[in-house]
Structure 1
Amino acid sequence: MKKFFGIVTSLALFFSIQVGSAFAETPLSQAVNDGMGSPYKTGGTTKKGFDCSGYTSFVFAKFGIDLPHQSKSQAAIGTTVSQDELRPGDLVFFDTDGPVNKDGSGISHVGVYVGDGKFYHSATNKGISVNKLSEAYYVKTYITAKRILSDEQYEELMTDN
């Protein structure tokens, strides 16, 4: 019985630590989550509905960063980073109009990378959602990534609240 109680206590402690850390939010995670549940809307820039670049503009505006409202225009700013150097807050770009032009001339979609291979974006069929860069569709349509945040801004936005 003591052994059983010890195991249960250990599991309870383990799960309480895991749950506690799951609720720690950074300013960046709060910003991207603020749009969750919003539908897709062509030209949309508010929680009533976002298109992809309207959503990324909404997220970055929370930090005083003004992004143009077009994915191709957003891809023209910042510093290019390779996919294996991505960090939370980087913008990821796709050519979803096909056929895919890997030269960047067909950029038509943008999302905010949040780490762990995932990005938030406004999908035409789901609204604000989270997907993995490793999903076949995004592997096929991925074009590039841009770093908008300076190292100092990144440190501020990744500090737990």
Structure 2
Amino acid sequence: MSVCLLLGALLVGGAGAQTAAGPAGQVSVTVQPGDTAFSLARRAGLSVQELLTLNGLSSPDLRVGQVLTLRVVPLTYVAQPGDTLYALARRFGVRVEALLEASALPPGAVLKAGQVLTLPVGATMPVGTSVPAGASVPVAPVQAQSFTPPAPAVGAAGAASPFQPLTPTQTAPVLQPGSPMPRSQTTDTPSPLAGAGDWRAAALSLLNTPYVFGGTTRAGTDCSGLVLQVFTPLGVPLPRTSAEQARAGQPVAPEALEAGDLVFFDTEGAGRVSHVGIYLGEDQFISANSYQGRVTVDHLRADRYWGPRFVGARRVLPGAAPLAVNR
């Protein structure tokens, strides 16, 4: 009964897909006129690829009357000390918004130890983990492994990662001093890069490097650590944290961005810089992405996550005079 109710809640307001309960943890969906793989997957809390894989499909093209199978994972999780919505969403392979909706939490909610969360349909369990006290056993889980929360990454001062639960309303923050990112417990120094005379090649050579909070090497790096690895070999002195780097160089207006400029983001909604990347041109930038767990290239303004959180840019490479931002 709970499986059917959960799926019904997810499909409420949808465009016509008819569902029927099947074996435990499974529901069949009959495709109706106007349905698409994207709309059905979104209503079920799955990605399109998950929907296709579950049904053995190689193409997202659907036909009316086609019966698709969804796998429902009604799982609850008891929040542990140090957990954040952002970290749990990444751990279970879901969106923060989906986790908030499934648990009936308001946007920007902050977790408390012992709080019981309901994971959305499509949540998966990390491999090689065990069920924490208070977590329910999933019905027909996508992955049978269960999960023990690791301790949150901390720096020398014991502070948690700068990526915290997001508030939905941004307040047009400007570049200003923020709380500094804690240094790693190790004494990492930027690793030398082959061909460092070409900053672009140096930056792209770090693609897919694992994200490690406080890291500054090819073994693992955070966002400001990536910037140091690229620019330190060029003789460009920069401070350690993204908030400090946001005061280096000269300000650049968004319309005057050039490749090599540093771009800054407020990922906390608190009106201060908490993330940095390197602009590559053509609305793309490279950064150490903690959500993806690696160094990635993303769109700047076109991306619905990064665009609203972009707060400004600085030019640290010698070259054309930057266009100052009016304050």
Shorter chain as denominator, the TM-score bin is 0.7 to 0.9
Deviation of 1:62 after TM superposition, in Å, equals: 2.5
Contact 1:31 1:62 in 2 (8 A): no
Contact 2:212 2:222 in 1 (8 A): yes
Which secondary structure does the structure 2 equivalent of 1:80 belong to? strand
Contact 1:118 1:132 in 2 (8 A): yes
Distance across 2 between alignment mates of 1:96 and 1:37: 21
Amino acid of the structure 1 residue aligned with 2:202: A
1:137 pairs with 2:314: no
Aligned partner of 1:124 in structure 2 is 290
Contact 1:90 1:112 in 2 (8 A): yes
Distance across 2 between alignment mates of 1:151 and 1:140: 28
Residues 65-84 of structure 1 correspond to what in structure 2 (within 5 A)?
A: 65-84=236-255
Contact 2:259 2:279 in 1 (8 A): yes
Higher strand share: 1
Match of 2:234 among 47, 53, 63: 63
Aligned partner of 2:267 in structure 1 is 96
Contact 1:92 1:113 in 2 (8 A): yes
Distance across 2 between alignment mates of 1:141 and 1:37: 23
Larger radius of gyration: 2
Distance across 1 between alignment mates of 2:303 and 2:282: 13
**Runs of 4+ that moved beyond 3 A:** none
Amino acid of the structure 1 residue aligned with 2:290: T
Aligned partner of 2:43 in structure 1 is none
Aligned partner of 1:19 in structure 2 is none
Aligned partner of 1:115 in structure 2 is 281
Amino acid of the structure 1 residue aligned with 2:277: G
Higher helix share: 1
Which secondary structure does the structure 1 equivalent of 2:255 belong to? helix
Which secondary structure does the structure 2 equivalent of 1:53 belong to? helix
Give CA-to-partner distance per residue, 1:121-159, whole Å, 9 cap, x none. 00002211000012011111111100001117xxxxxxx
Residues 38-57 of structure 1 correspond to what in structure 2 (within 5 A)?
A: 38-57=209-228
Amino acid of the structure 2 residue aligned with 1:130: V
Distance across 1 between alignment mates of 2:236 and 2:206: 17
Distance across 2 between alignment mates of 1:115 and 1:130: 11
Q: What TM-score do the two structures reach when normalised by structure 2?
A: 0.36
Deviates more, 1:60-69 or 1:36-45: 60-69
1:30 pairs with 2:30: no
Deviation of 1:116 after TM superposition, in Å, equals: 0.6
Q: What TM-score do the two structures reach when normalised by structure 1?
A: 0.72
| Cα root mean square deviation, aligned | 1.4
Deviation of 1:66 after TM superposition, in Å, equals: 2.1
Aligned partner of 2:157 in structure 1 is none
Deviation of 1:97 after TM superposition, in Å, equals: 1.2
Contact 2:200 2:260 in 1 (8 A): no
Distance across 1 between alignment mates of 2:254 and 2:236: 23
Which secondary structure does the structure 1 equivalent of 2:286 belong to? strand
Distance across 1 between alignment mates of 2:207 and 2:306: 20
Distance across 1 between alignment mates of 2:316 and 2:221: 20
Q: How many residues align?
A: 122
Distance across 1 between alignment mates of 2:306 and 2:233: 27
Aligned partner of 1:15 in structure 2 is none
Aligned partner of 1:156 in structure 2 is none
Aligned partner of 1:6 in structure 2 is none
